[in-house]
Amino acid sequence: MADKTREEPNRLERRKARTRAALVTAAQSFIAAGKLNAPILEITQAADVGMGSFYNHFQSREELFQAAIEEALDRHGAALDLLCENLDDPAQVFAQSFRLTGRLHRRNPTLSKVLLSNGLALIRSDRGLAPRASRDIEAATRAGRFQVQDVELAMTIVAGAAICLGQLLHDQADRDDAAATDQVTEDLLRMLGLPADEAHEICQRPLPPLDALPQHDTAA
């Protein structure tokens, strides 16, 4: 016979997790829509949870929005780790991560807009693309693949390219997102020190299946 005293806490934890996830998903939708001053009541209604449930998880709207951004970054970062785990060349890891990120903007516009809404702050984030790109630039430089004197300055250019590319793909819906992303990636690789022919070849390599990327109907 199952231990009911153990089942009840587990059931309660699952319910709490579902409530928190609903609030985070709703918050991401509001952030993506630019509704940063939405009342808490409106957010809880969108999440289909009660006001009391909100305060069981968050003390303020700002705390919820911060959690929503961090969760989006973590989901994005986990997907990049999974899709690049079999690569040994840090230059290719950098390129593949950037190419996958560019394709995310159309695949999940909600998540994309959450990330872009905080673009400048994300340059210094320890989550998502930024720390992985910095790690890969440093590794590729140590391995002699990149020629970079100042990683922070290089990251400023990479982050700016990532943010501006994402906004461009939202503004120009008819632009080929894959071709645009690969061209920007190729230009970045050349800036970082790869020969032009190798930069081009790397950006023509097949990408892994994109199923691990957050889907269109998943906010985070």
Domain residues for 195? 4-212
pLDDT tens-place string over residues 135-177:
999 999 999 999 999 999 999 999 999 999 999 999 999 999 9
pLDDT tens-place string over residues 2-51:
565 556 668 888 888 999 999 999 999 999 998 989 999 999 999 999 88
Whether residue 112 is contained in a domain is answered as yes
Whether residue 219 is contained in a domain is answered as no
H-helix or E-strand containing 146?
none
User: What per-residue confidence (pLDDT) applies to 218?
Assistant: 44
CA–CA gap between residue 113 and residue 204 (Å, rounded): 27
The residue whose two tokens read 């440093």 is 138
* Number of domain units in the chain: 1
First-to-last C-alpha distance (Å) of the chain: 38
pTM for the whole thing? 0.84
Whether residue 220 is contained in a domain is answered as no
Handedness of CA 39, 109, 208, 121 (dihedral sign): negative
Whether residue 218 is contained in a domain is answered as no
Whether residue 165 is contained in a domain is answered as yes
Whether residue 122 is contained in a domain is answered as yes
Domain at 151, CATH number: 1.10.357.10
Whether residue 101 is contained in a domain is answered as yes
Angle at 67 between CA 133 and CA 70, to 5 degrees: 5
Amino acid at 100: L
Whether residue 192 is contained in a domain is answered as yes
